[in-house]
Structure formats: C-alpha cells, structure tokens
Structure 1
Amino acid sequence: MCSGEDHPPAPASRRLRRCFPSTPFLLLAYLCYLLLGSAAFWALESPAERKAARELLQEKWDLLENYSCLEKEALEHLAKGIIRAYKSGLYLKDNTTLGRWDFVGSFFFSVSAVTTIGYGNLSPSTEVAQILCIFFALFGIPLNLILLNRIGQLMLSAVQLCAFRLGEKFQWQKGAAVLTRTCALVAGLLLFFLLPPLLFTAIEGWTYEEGFYYSFITLSTIGFGDYVIGMNPERIYPTWYKNIVSLWILFGMAWLALIINLCISLLENSSGLCQCCRRRSREMEQDLNNANPNNNLGPEDKNNHNEKDTKLVVPN
C-alpha cells in the first residue's frame, strides 16, 4: 500500500531517545578535542608570536632613531617584516603589538580548521604547529562531520515527532508536517542568517549586508577570508565574542545538515509516490487488457474480427 504520509511517531520518538544519550557524549568529546587543539596551538604559536612582536618593535625603534638618514634597504626590510607579521596575525599599534594567538583566538582557529572554513587570515608558522595542524584536522574533520550529522538527525527527529504530535491533536497530519518544517526553516533563518548580522554590525561596525554576506560565506564553509571577525585593531572585542561565534558556526552548520536531511526525506517520499503511481498505472492497464479481449488479439486477428462483425450486421 502506497502512502505519502510522514513517518509514524514510534520510530521518530525511538530515534530521538536513541540519539539523545550519545549526542551529549559526542558533543563533549568534540569540545574536548577542540580545547586540546586550542591549548596545543596556543602553546606552540604564542612564543613565536611574542618573538616576532619584539623583533618588529625593535625594527620600528631602529628606524625611528635613524629616521634622518633612512635607507631604502631599511625601509624595505621593515615593510617585509610588517607584511610577514600581518600574515601571521600580528598587528603593530603605537608602542604595542596585537596578536591573535591567545587561547580564544586559538580556539577559533581550531573551529575554522575542523569545519573546513579556513579563512586564511591565521595560520601556524612554526613547523611543529604545522605538523600538529595536519593531524588535528585529519581526525577533527571526520569528528566534526559525525557530530553535525548527529545533531542534524536529532533535529530532524524532533521536527518529525512535533509534526506527529500536532497532527494527532488536530487530526491533520499533512498540514502539521508542512507547518513544523516551515517553522524549522524560518527559525533557522532567523537564528543563523537574519539575526547574527545585527551582532556583527554592533561589534564589527559592518553594514547589515556585509554581516549577512559573512554569515552565508561562513556557514557554507566557502570562507573567502575577506570578512573575518576580530580583525580590526582599532576595536576592543569582548572575551565571549569569538566563543559565541564558534557555537553559532557549529549549530548553524548542523541546521544546514537538518535542511539537507529534510530535502532528502522529501525526495525519498516523492520518489516513492512516483513509483506508486507507476505501479497503479500498470495495474490499471492490466485490468483493462483483461476486461477487453480484443486487446490481446494481433493486428490480423483484429481485422478478421472486424470483418466478421460487419458481415453479421449486413442484411440478407
């Protein structure tokens, strides 16, 4: 029997209960993995960053002391040092330097690495950290994919269970399914695409369009790197800012996994309906053939049969 209705509640509720105990454990393992990677990158890159900062400041003071007799080679050397420091995430401001390899910045780098966003604005410079980054991403990317898929399945089970509860209460299964999926889509758009640009506008000073552009480029893992949070040396960022954005990236990508699962579910239902329609059309065709014996005759038999019918009709 063919049916286009949603899945019954029992599998959805069982799937929800089955996913719930393992999902927090997986999330905890994912978080611990990120924290360990962040601590390792912080320990490896911070000394190199501080050393580069001291060298850059020393070059600046040497240049200022000899400003009256500035040479071309010295200026080019300072420019190369500034470019190299900028690529490694170091800023020179007044008499201090601003680095990004603190623990919060290392955590954000770890998130951008395992989610394959890869902005390109921050990268390890030491050989040990580069080798660590290879192995960290090698095991972190599959862990990230498993976690996103698990959260997406959990969300999908919750949506299906909510749809069944509403349909059971109001006796309208198809309408409840459409309503809950629409609510999930609208809620995701608000939480992950429409509201975050307001935060970026307030903290980064971007326009709403730039914040929306950054949201899409980030959650789609394109990661051009033309807009990255926490990059403006003229601004003071809250300590919680990058952590909140990291959680937004994780759950935003999980919501995209939910949307993908919903699309796959819709495609599977539509293919099942198409197969059902084709099977019914074949059954109707067989019934018509069985009801009309003339359909089983060949072309010559049909002509002979028609001639006999005409002879019977002609009067004597």
Structure 2
Amino acid sequence: MLRKTESSIIFIQQLGRGLRKHADKEFVTIIDFIGNYKNNYLIPIALSGDKSLNKDTIRRMMKDTSYINGVSTINFEEIAREQIYKSITNNNLTELRKLKEAYHELKNRMGHRPTMHDFITNESIDPIVIVKPHKCYYQFLKRINEDISELTSYEQQVLTMLSLEILDGKRIHEIILLELLFQNDQVAYDDYVTTLEQLNCRTDSNTLSSVIRVMDLTFFVAAQRKNYGDTPICNLKDGAFHLNDDIRRSFDTNETFKDMFLMSYYVQRKKQEPMIVALH
C-alpha cells in the first residue's frame, strides 16, 4: 500500500480489499509503506479497533500485536516502529475537537449524556484522556457547553483530585476505601484492612500509610493541595475512616456531584476488576 492515508477508516477499507476471500487465494501479505505521512499512530488504532486515544494503550499495542485473532500476524519493521512511536508522542490526541467528536458520537448512540463509565462499557475514548486536560469530567462538559447542574468551587476541586489522582491510579486501595465510605458513615480501620486482605491486596504499613496520606492530601505539595480543596477527602480518627463532612453534605444537596464523585472511582474499579478477580 502506497497511498497517503490519514483516516483509520479508509486504511481499513484499503486493507479489506486484500482480505477478500477467494477459492484460489490461501493468504495475503500486506506491505504498508508508512513513512510518507505523519499520522502513523492511526495504524495500531485501526488494526486493533481501540478508540481510547490513550497514548500508553496505543504504545502497548505496538509491543503486543496479538489483538487480531486467528492466523493473521502483524510485524513492524524497526524503522516503522520508531516512526509510529514518534507519531504517538508528537500528536495531540486530547485536542478538544477529537474529544468533542467522540463525546457526541457516544451521546447520539446512547440517546442521553454519557457518564465516564459509559465510555468504558461502549469501548469509546478512555475517560482519563478527557479529564487530564480539563481537570474533571464536569469541567469538560462545561467547556463543550453541555447543560448541567452547577457545582460549587469546592465540589469541583474534590472531583479534580479524584479524577487526576484516583481515576488514573495504579492500585485499588484508595478506590476500595472510597467505595466503603460511600456506603457507610464511617469505616473501621481493621475492617478496611480485612477487605484489602480478602482481595489479596498489600496491607503492609508503608502501603497503608501511603493510602492515608493520599486521602488526607498530605502526600501532595502545597500547590496540589490548593487545587484539590486543601481539605482531606477523608481522615483516620479514633480507629476509623471518616469522609469529609462537606462532601457528605453535598451528597444530600447535589445529585450531580454525588454521581460524578461515584464515577470518579467506580470507573477505575471496573477497569481493575479483571486483575482483582485474577488475584482472588
């Protein structure tokens, strides 16, 4: 293939011509000369069907090309691989136009405003890609002029903390704690540790201390704490975790905040569930 292509859809259409079956054709070899255009990052996206726009995910697809089932194989020349990695790095996959298009495509398909979890279940863009340049999903919705209930400045700061620190988290510990606090007025420290142990999560003193420091914001520098509301999300007091009273009151007065608070950790919980099940 020599044609200059800047659309993953057209790329697949071109590829499909060679994949047409015929009684006299046992296989097809596709040789794609990709050095003549800048959107090389579209190749792993097109071949895998992944729409997340998450650069880390796209890079992983370059290392593990087993996403096509059957007898097909994909091999990238070293130079081509470098060109694609360079394209992934240099392209802005989170520009507002791309995010807005993906949002409206999913909204039109579902018939209502999608939640962050809807993007996961419908194999659309990764919610992390949305929140990173906009701090939280609420700010993104406001940016594209969606009609949504107003949140207070502090409520937005809480969502910013959860979106930037928890939604993109690499461990399940904070998510489990938030889940328990969402369901209960307080959570005994020992009960929390028992829950972690049941999920085969680490419960050493360093890990638990780190969780506490993240949730009371002492883990972060002053500038980050200011952006996150400068008030602990939760505190450990008298052997139990307590959710911030202002957050608890907002649950009762603002349904939009409550839903977005839930989604800020629920999405990551669902993404990590296969790993948790495997460990269990």
TM-score class, shorter-chain normalisation, is under 0.3
Query: Larger RCO: Structure 1 or Structure 2 (Cα < 8 Å, ≥ 6 residues apart)?
Result: 1
Of structures 1 and 2, the larger Rg is shown by: 1
Higher helix share: 1
For normalisation by structure 2, the TM-score amounts to 0.23
For normalisation by structure 1, the TM-score amounts to 0.21
